[in-house]
């Protein structure tokens, strides 16, 4: 029992090293996926601008004495749609960048610590 306590007191309990990244991450067809996602992001952004143009509606009311009252009406469902489509477009762009980076390259671990652990085990 004292051996275990002395062993844990001498060195911190580090989590195990993750395995090296798989070579299957590097797949060139991911560039095509990124291109499709960028196209979908452009369509989502264009639709969001169309929705946003329907958000503000002027309302003009003419009274019997000739007085003209002007007010502005905001359509919440159009605003929510525009915001949602804008957020979707942003997420598609971020994922397209990720897909493109995975299509081009993968990072390899080349640290000394990793090489030592492979040589020892």
What is the per-residue pLDDT for 105? Answer: 73
Number of domains present in the structure of the chain: 1
| pTM of this prediction exceeds 0.85 | no
Instruction: Name residue 73's beta-bridge partners.
Output: 57
- Domain range holding 88? 34-105
What percentage of residues in the chain have a pLDDT greater than 90? 56
| pLDDT of 61 over the 90 cut | yes
Confidence label for 35 from pLDDT (cuts 50, 70 and 90): very high
Treating both helix axes as pointing N-terminal to C-terminal, what angle do 76-104 and 30-53 enclose, rounded to 10 degrees? 160
Give residue-wise pLDDT tens across range 64-115.
998 999 999 999 999 999 999 999 999 999 999 999 988 887 655 555 555 5
Contacts of 41 (CB under 8 A, 6+ apart): 88, 89, 90, 92, 93, 96
Please indicate whether residue 109 or residue 32 has the higher confidence score (pLDDT).
32
Cα–Cα distance measured from residue 24 to residue 34, given in angstroms and rounded to the nearest whole number: 17
Please indicate whether residue 63 or residue 106 has the higher confidence score (pLDDT).
63
Query: Strand, helix or coil at 108?
Result: coil
> What rounded mean pLDDT belongs to the chain?
82
Please indicate whether residue 93 or residue 7 has the higher confidence score (pLDDT).
93
- Residue 12 inside a domain? The answer is no
- Residue 86 inside a domain? The answer is yes
- Residue 116 inside a domain? The answer is no
- Residue 16 inside a domain? The answer is no
Query: Strand, helix or coil at 56?
Result: strand
What is the per-residue pLDDT for 115? Answer: 53
């Amino acid at each position: 029992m004292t051996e275990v306590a002395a062993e844990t007191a001498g060195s911190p309990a580090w989590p195990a090293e993750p395995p090296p990244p798989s070579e299957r991450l590097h797949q060139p067809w991911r560039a095509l996926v990124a291109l499709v996602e960028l196209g979908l992001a452009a369509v989502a952004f264009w639709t969001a601008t169309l929705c946003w143009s329907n958000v503000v509606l002027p309302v003009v009311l003419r009274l019997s004495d000739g007085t003209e009252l002007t007010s502005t009406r905001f359509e919440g469902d159009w605003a929510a749609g525009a915001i949602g489509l804008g957020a979707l477009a942003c997420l598609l762009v971020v994922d397209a960048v990720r897909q493109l980076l995975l299509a081009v390259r993968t990072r390899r671990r080349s640290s000394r610590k990793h090489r030592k652990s492979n040589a020892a085990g």
